[in-house]
Structure 1
């Protein structure tokens, strides 16, 4: 089975194509298969005691269906069972942890886990040949079909956040990944019995609609969809109150949808298409053929909770009162046309005008090639090159629109959408030759009140190399003319430290900044070549001193006047104390003397300082900020910290996570996106509300952790095994999935040490060594020692029995955090002759059996942290 993005963005971006709807009461006439020549080829009446594993297989994952859904799918009987002739698929509100991907997914990794707030079930009409935990699964795809009538009698759940679906996916993905090979949605419904506002009438209604939809086109996010809503009409009739029959008739070139045998919609091959590569790698079009709906598909039934569709419409989110929800299936029946394998002869064509004929989506031009060695690399010159396609990530309001016409790209943003040029099927290119070049295009500002545009490109890791252009930069001519924009690629990379240029998949990404709407047009987009020299992101060690006895090297103190009495503002530094007074909106700060600096290495670190308020004035609070240039500012209020607001003239110590500044992106107007790689002032103090403030600060530092072992060893470090005096051939050291397992006998140890020269860890003197540890076999050891080693006899050790967590028992994982100062104090207690030298550490983390015994131990998440 290929790597697919199942049901991603399903019916989310409602502006891709309008969904028509029909309002009718159910038609009660029973279906007579013999009259039309249909033969029953598969059925499950659910009359037994168990789910038939010759017909159905469970999916087991906590992926979220590609739609940010809130459930884990399990194979537990609590989530799916047969009783009284009915299959029940039940969603249950409970925290549950499971594998991210299904066992037959190429991305499956049993150690890659995720936690969701619901459990549920998803069944597909295949049976497992082998299903061994931890190994790729094999399935029997006998229960799949090309063409036929598919009939499911079901009762749907109600409530905001519920999302039942009965649908079909291709078995062999003949044309490529989702949705190139298509998807058929027989029935979907969201939020039944919640309320929604009718867009045409403005009337508030009770949700009682179901949806029939096709997905096709290109690989995500170039997929499109078209479909029809079925409104039960009378709000007293709701598909969650009783069983109804949901059917499709699928024949060569056409698919029809039915509710209770009432034909309400048809789509034909004139309205769908697929773009795919042939065996020679040449792009082809389905060209009005039945493709992609001319291959074998299998059935899927599931109940999702929340996600990009259900949680973003009607009343929003998931109703907190819902603890359980049930999708009930009475039967599943599949018929095929006995006398015509295409199904055409048996189909119920219906009277013209009695159903909606959905016209589908206009097919775009095929992708064209690009020369990735050219200078410049042409991305768009009236047509997209290199198999790129235009796509969008809407904010669920359906207001964002894009179009390629008249030799330009027209982008209309509404609130917070994102538009981008995406490599089809995830295709990437190596942009290394262009890393030192220029990114250029022509642009004109047509309309809108946005404050600017974020523009750049992204890679497969999700990093976004970009700059923010304000309206004055490129909008002076408005709609009357074009402005040439030339941006050094290196400027974009400043906002994406560590950006991998070898795997660029989004060649152009555009995001509205501020305001409510923006309409811009772009043309002649290209990148020129140039050598790129990466910025050193690790230049400051593990502690950056901004203010100790004096201001740190490369920094200075600054006073910014507000709108009040500037003559009374003052700033002094005496004996390591910076005293600042400002009035009416100003601030005091410690900033770089050389412009922007890269502090991205401190993303998981802390800003530490001591502060006292000499005079609070009329301010409502005190803000601490990190400043990359307006509006790229992150702030934290002292009242929000665990320490809280200090009282007058009393010193208080603060340690604020740098991540909190990044998370609080300029909360005054929400237009900022604070980037640590582009900082001007790493420490700013300001009165909240523009009041007066007189404050003293001292001991201002930035500190960051050293991750010795996360998923792998840190750069410059490795795992080592030191043999003891007893049977060294039995000693082992392995690392798998971020866990280091070591066995040693008779006085040896396992360690994480420098793979080169000794390293200086003196800036971590006030940190803790944190790690998870479990004892697999304690052997004859009486205790376990943790050590820091700067070369015998210069060692510091701490016994696990001396810690507050004590020794682990019963092979359980235990988390430890031991102050480095404790290792310094315990200088080689074996003979007392050592002096631990943190400026010249050989082994930063050592595990050893006390008393020279045997030991097997596992450790993970080893780090020095503040």
Structure 2
């Protein structure tokens, strides 16, 4: 299609192709002619040529020609607006000042040859990626602010106008809401009040010792061993090997190897009898006598294995003070030596308070105890006159299935006959959840009046036993009227019929500290914790001695881990 001839119309410039030898004159109205060998108008470069190796990916394709930029001088070409003659100055907009146009962001560089150089082409390539030049300030322009702009927060079209929302609770009060309000706070107030009352009455219900307490014994073991156990001391060693009615495997001695004071502590330490007489002598062919046996002074009316409670029993005496080892019969000499100390004939109380600060020993089949016996068997032999166990424990580890070293136990032993003990109705324990009682010292306490008895460790909150004397012990025991002793029936009599609700625990008691080992009375149940003996076996002590390699290493090699260590003992009596 051809355009009409009109000299006033804008004539587009002739096509210009960028090439190595291209050149364009500034004459807008004449065409330049050249020789055939050198052409001013070279066709566009194709793939594989030098010109096509530098391509700007952001430039328009080669078929689009800019009619406003001179490709040679990079100067702006005039654009004639409609109604304006060619050659006239462009008419600015009303109220705006025309701005000068710069030729290039990087400036202009005159050609030094007949054609544009590669440097000029590189500058044009970089110019395409350069940021545009800053626009000069004008009268109507403003400076660019660097402060963050505050944009209006977009509002969700899903929200309704608050003025159109229906709020019936504002105009009309729900009566049930008020009831729920008062009900909630009333229940909360009642709960707090009930908790306060529960705490108050719980506090008031804790029985306490009323009246004055007079100090009877205050022992801190700062004296040497001879003074502590001497004639003017507070303690007496009991020396026996008869098992003390429990079938215990140790013999108690007066040796300083087994009981002594050091650095303000009392130590009760178990040792091997074989260290004294040899291992072979313990098992066979040896007679061992306790020359300082205290059976006559400490147990003149009762003895192990004897029913005679009114006169001295020579057989029981020899059983308590001597032993013979015989491999044929399976009898051996007690394989362990330990100690048992008491305040008998030194200090005793009838109602009051006892505190013993001690650390229990660690080791299999060790049996430490803090307990009390009556000064006189007023109501008959054990347990008719009672026994108070302030603390008993087992030295076995925490994994022991029947309460090991992480448990301590308190109990009362009592009963109308020597073989009828109702301890199962009056006992309890406390336990350490993350440690055990062999890790440090603890205070074991007894509070005892004619109306109650409490045994605890460290604090009253950790009580092992709290018993109110609100009924007679014979009624508490719920004993049968007739019991069987073998083949002979026995009509049961109440030995405390003339006493009070506290009987038999209404007489003076003295304190005992001892460390036993093993036994056949059931304190260490059969088939628990790899127990190496059976209680009913005639060779129980021999079986225990043969298993020495399994239990002796657990006692420790320092002589202290397996020791029962006592820091202080205090006794008060109500006065």
- TM superposition score category, shorter chain reference: 0.3 to 0.5
Give 1 or 2: higher strand fraction.
Answer: 1
Tell me which of the two structures has the higher relative contact order, counting C-alpha pairs closer than 8 angstroms and 6 or more residues apart. 2
Could you say which structure has the larger radius of gyration? Answer: 2
TM norm structure 2? 0.45
